[in-house]
Amino acid sequence: MEKTEHSDDSPAARPRWVMLNRYSYRRFIDAETMTSAASHTSTGHLFRVSFRLAAPPACSTFHNDWTGSDDEPHRDPEIVAAHGDCLLLDVTCPNPNKMYDNVVIDYFLYDAAADALSLLAACFFPMTFQRGDGAGRVARARHLWKKDTGIFHRGSGEVTVAQLEVPDTDDRPKFPRNKAELCVLDTGRLQWELRRDVPIVHGEATAGKAYDLMLWWETDVAVPVGDRFLCFVDYFRGFLVYDVAADLATVELRYVPLPVEVSDLSPNFDGRPCTASFRNLAGAGIDAVRFVTVESRCCCGAAGDSSCERGWFLFTVTAWSLNLAATVWVKESMLDCEELWAMPGYGDLPRRPLSHPIVSSDDPDIVCFILLNGYSRYSDEDRDKRKVWMLEINMRSKTLRSVVLYNNEEQQEEYQIAAKLQF
């Protein structure tokens, strides 16, 4: 059952989809790498990125090399967003003009089919919290954050990059957050556009309900769906649908609720859980999404954390689907931990909760998870005992397809993003 990584470059060895580590490693590019590309930053630094691909549930790795450059970066390149075989990369390099900033952040699109890197034009539209009295300020390029920036790779080869901001207000009761801003770059036009006051449409929700939903909105991730949609997701409240094909001058954002209870946690609440630990939303066809959640359950079977020791590690995994043209979620499957632990192949693996679900880009019924043995990465005493497994499960047939022991050297197993690199 256990899968191994392929190192040859034959078509049969190339996985149909991969789980890429968002953070790259500064390592020499070797023969095991399946694909790589080189380019120059806006400051003239030569760099190369490469990807060592492995079939899920094994994790694929992202590497960088600055051989030939006088200065190496302070921070290794990172993946901001992915769609199909296109990646948006954040590349930080030293700034030769250190009067204002020590580094320059460039953004590149990596096209796996062409093994090519394309430098994006910098965006100088400030975000709302940066505006005000700008007299005497030095114009700085806008930062594209992982949580609120997405890309959409069209069939024509053009790519749309979009960043969402739901502006905060100093007086929430007087000014509800019912509008957003979209900063968009279409590679066919090569010019950034900023659309302010984009309406947020809540459908049948009352004004009070809509206000409550947006009061503590915090975007967690941008998810491309099908051939025209980007979904900006708050894993505690729902998601906003952006139609990439719509004219930016008349675009609106449509709110869609999640099939689970809305949380009242505020983004300022220090205990806001890491949403990637137990929820994942992904595209599942032309105009559909798949939502997977891992939830604790009591020993009696009821939802919620158990107060008794016997139920501390009990959980259920639920998969939902939604056609974006509809309003009703469909529960596709539910898997209880007891069913998982009894599956052939689970064997002596720890009976602990799964985490960090990732829906396959190839088949939405296939979901990959992380399983930890409970030892901490932060304790010197525990680090050598810590083990991580990656599990691949077919939620519909309730079968454990594969188990892979994670290479724990980097200890970054939770920073994975799904991609479907074709080259």
Mean pLDDT of 187-192: 86
List all residues 6 or more positions away from 171 whose beta carbon is below 8 Å from its beta carbon. Answer: none
Residue 222 or 410, more confident: 222
CB 112 within 8 A of CB 127: no
List all residues 6 or more positions away from 4 whose beta carbon is below 8 Å from its beta carbon. Answer: 58
Highest mean pLDDT among 3-12, 283-292, 372-381: 283-292
What is d(CA 81, CA 415) in angstroms, rounded to the nearest whole number? 12
pLDDT of residue 414: 84
**3-class DSSP state of 168:** coil
Mean pLDDT of 36-55: 90
pLDDT at 238 over 90: yes
Which band of pLDDT confidence, cut at 50, 70 and 90, is reported for residue 202? Answer: confident
Mean pLDDT of 349-378: 91
pLDDT of residue 361: 93
pLDDT at 29 over 90: no
Torsions phi, psi for 275 (to 5 deg): -65, -30
pLDDT at 11 over 60: no
* Neighbour order of strands in the sheet with 288-296: 279-283, 288-296, 315-323, 330-336
pLDDT of residue 6: 35
pLDDT at 111 over 60: yes
Q: Mind listing the pLDDT tens digit for each residue in 116-138?
A: 999 999 999 988 877 765 555 66
Q: Mind listing the pLDDT tens digit for each residue in 285-320?
A: 889 999 999 999 877 655 655 556 566 789 999 999
Task: For Cα atoms 67, 70, 73, give the angle at the middle one, nearest 5 degrees.
Answer: 75
What is d(CA 77, CA 173) in angstroms, rounded to the nearest whole number? 41
